[in-house]
Structure 1
């Protein structure tokens, strides 16, 4: 089983209540090859919600408590992001998922790039909190931008 970010399947769960539909991922859902997850909702964040970015590092640093996730107005939402990451891991383990496809640039789901942490729109190399935790636990993490490489291997 493959887990995919809910927003990539067309569910309106992003911080601003929108989605990022990827038609290939949507077809995987329709064929029952994948299941959707949203770590931010699993962490009990609401829709809509303020945009959030990681300050002081990336998702691995958040898990080590060396960085935090903060909303644009300055609210610390680190605990919600960590909780959502662990719930996503639990779901992956329950489903025996060894692969996830997550939304790039997200503070939860980014798998190669995340926003810089200053709300400037600039990005840096790094993992989101969920991507970092899943990788630590042996799960292959792809983004919507590179998951087709995985599909070629299937």
Structure 2
């Protein structure tokens, strides 16, 4: 069983109310081989919502801030925890998550300046999954384990 970003399964839950449908990932869900999650929605954020990016605050802590300057870290952490709980219930050991996202990014995320620049790093949910033994792939580099 896989956990996948809901937007990749065609669910319109992106910050702008759209999706990032990937036919192969959508098929996994249709076949009952994957469970879609949107950590941001699970954390209580609406769709659509103000775009968010990860920053380091003045104390060096990682925060998630929306484009209006509102700290959304609590919602992102809550969504990550709920996503991890779902992974545990279904026994998922692998996740395929949306690249560059402040929740789901794997390897790269936006730099926190809302200018489209990517920096090395992971989203909040990706880090929690990795810390709990779940292998994470992005939608750009995933492979289907046998």
Task: With the length of structure 2 as denominator, give the TM-score of the two structures.
Answer: 0.96
User: Of Structure 1 and Structure 2, which has the larger fraction of its residues in helix?
Assistant: 1
CA displacement at 1:67 relative to structure 2: 1.4
- The residue correspondences of 1:91-106 to structure 2 (distance < 5 A) are 91-106=86-101
- Give 1:40's aligned residue: 40
Q: Supply the distance in 2 between the matched residues of 1:116 and 1:92 (Cα, whole angstroms).
A: 28
CA displacement at 1:56 relative to structure 2: 1.2
- Give 1:72's aligned residue: 67
Question: Can you list the C-alpha shifts for 1:78-107, whole angstroms capped at 9, x where unaligned?
Answer: 000000000001110111110111000000
- Give 1:127's aligned residue: 122
RMSD: 1.2
- Give 1:50's aligned residue: 50
Question: Can you list the C-alpha shifts for 1:28-54, whole angstroms capped at 9, x where unaligned?
Answer: 111111110000011000001000000
Find the residue that maps to 1:18 and give its secondary structure: coil
- Give 1:62's aligned residue: none
Task: With the length of structure 1 as denominator, give the TM-score of the two structures.
Answer: 0.91
In the alignment, is residue 112 of structure 1 matched against residue 107 of structure 2? yes
Find the residue that maps to 2:79 and give its secondary structure: helix
User: Unaligned 5+ residue runs, structure 2?
Assistant: none
- Give 1:140's aligned residue: 135
Question: Can you list the C-alpha shifts for 1:114-149, whole angstroms capped at 9, x where unaligned?
Answer: 00011010000110000000000000001111113x
- Give 2:5's aligned residue: 5
Q: Supply the distance in 2 between the matched residues of 1:71 and 1:86 (Cα, whole angstroms).
A: 20
